Structure 1
């Protein structure tokens, strides 16, 4: 059975584990679609590349890149 990744819109407990709003979990297609129909979750979009989510900062005086 295929799986679907969802993003939670409300807190949810799945398999005894509590998940917060915004958490992504992978479920069977049927379970995922049921949570979406209940407005508990939405289909997750593709993850954003790590370089797009956390840009490096440049030090104004030295011009070097500093990681966070």
Structure 2
């Protein structure tokens, strides 16, 4: 079981670059890249809220639970 991060999909839908989003929400591009790749163990609600606000989406648009995938 794992959480799949669909941030890259939402960025593409919004025609936004990672660099632009990182600047908007006040985190580094490196940290945003780690989040996009799913290599983080957690994300602060404050950061998730900022991403959703910037991309005009819901947390469920960014995160997906998968029972079939293994780490």
TM-score, with length taken from structure 1: 0.39
Higher Rg of the two aligned structures: 1
Higher relative contact order (CA 8 A, sep 6+): 2
Q: TM-score, normalised on structure 2?
A: 0.38
* Structure number having the greater helix percentage: 2
